Amino acid sequence: MPYMTAVCPLVWQSVRGRKFWPIPPDMTHIELPPEAERPLVAMEPMPSWHGVRPRKFPRQQHDIRGPELVNNQLLHKQYGIIALTGVELTINHINLIRTVINKHMNLTKTFAVWRIEAPWKPVSKRSQGKRLGGGKASIHHYTTPIRAGQVIVEVGGQIEFADCYYYLESISKRLPCDAFPVSQEILDEWDKEEQSLREKNINPFTFERVIKYNMQGCHRWTTMYDREWFGKYY
């Protein structure tokens, strides 16, 4: 996925002091959910085990490696925040997103939906100064692992991208991963640019071809992730 620096579109243009305001798009066809379902709902900080002893997980770094293959598109075809790298989100990050969006959004014409799961992956941690040994430590908190290309949250309704860009950008800068506020037009431009670069490439020795044919014995120094995603993800 190419990384493009998109800027918020201009709201108006002026010539010799005269302002030409753009005609707002027609959004009467957009259906809004009931007002009680428009803000982001709070997530539980830990799953409900219902009397079952919580299971301790290994680190499982493969949960955040590679591209997201399911939740990588905007369902409402409007706006949202997309992660560019894999990370494990805690309940503090989730509450940050919910607080900022619910504070700035106008419930009369805007709604927001989660595209991630509630924290479910246990993370163990030892207390500071404790000696090593004695088995695996107790569960400290729970996280939500996401991969590159995952849509974290989605915003829609009778609203333009310029009206929600500022608070989506502020959220993206405070997340522990590289995130970016996007619209459906930006995602379409990324796909067109990636396809254009692939078609205009005149060099036959691409990294994918070098890996597939094991040129110069590259399988000796490349990793399993290079052979699976051809250098795009780690």
pLDDT single digits (tens) 187-197: 999 999 999 99
Eight-class DSSP state of 199: H
Least confident of 50-54, 63-67, 200-204, 213-217: 50-54
| Beta bridge mates, 181 | 81
CA distance 52 to 67: 33
User: Is residue 143 within 8 Å of residue 121, measured between CB atoms?
Assistant: yes
Burial 176-186 (b: 16+ CB within 10 A, else e): ebebbbbbeeb
Residue 145 is predicted with a pLDDT of 97
Whether 13 is in a domain gets the answer: no
Residue 14 is predicted with a pLDDT of 67
Whether 206 is in a domain gets the answer: no
Reported as a single tens digit per residue, the pLDDT across 106-158 is: 999 999 999 999 999 999 998 888 888 889 999 999 999 999 999 999 999 99
Instruction: From 199, 37, 203, select the one nearest 112 (Cα to Cα).
Output: 37
Whether 220 is in a domain gets the answer: no
Sign, Cα dihedral of 168, 114, 70, 120: positive
Residue 152 is predicted with a pLDDT of 98
Based on the number of CB atoms within 10 Å of its own CB, is 137 exposed (0-12), middle (13-18) or buried (19 or more)? middle
Residue 11 is predicted with a pLDDT of 55
Residue 95 to residues 41, 140, 150, 162: CA-CA distances in angstroms? 10, 18, 18, 24
Q: Report the pLDDT averaged over residues 62-83.
A: 95
Whether 23 is in a domain gets the answer: no
* pTM confidence score: 0.86
- The CA-CA-CA angle for residues 139, 83, 56, to 5°, reads 15
Report the largest interatomic distance among the alpha carbons of the chain, rounded to a whole angstrom: 76
Reported as a single tens digit per residue, the pLDDT across 6-31 is: 445 545 666 777 877 778 888 888 89
Whether 10 is in a domain gets the answer: no
CA distance 77 to 122: 33
**What token pair was written down for 185?**
């037009």
**What token pair was written down for 19?**
């302002």
CATH of the domain at 79: 3.90.1170.10
Whether 146 is in a domain gets the answer: yes
Instruction: From 31, 155, 27, select the one nearest 82 (Cα to Cα).
Output: 155
- Host domain of residue 140: 29-126+133-184
Whether 232 is in a domain gets the answer: no
Whether 162 is in a domain gets the answer: yes
Overall domain count for the chain: 1
Instruction: From 159, 192, 155, 152, select the one nearest 176 (Cα to Cα).
Output: 152
Residue 89 is predicted with a pLDDT of 97
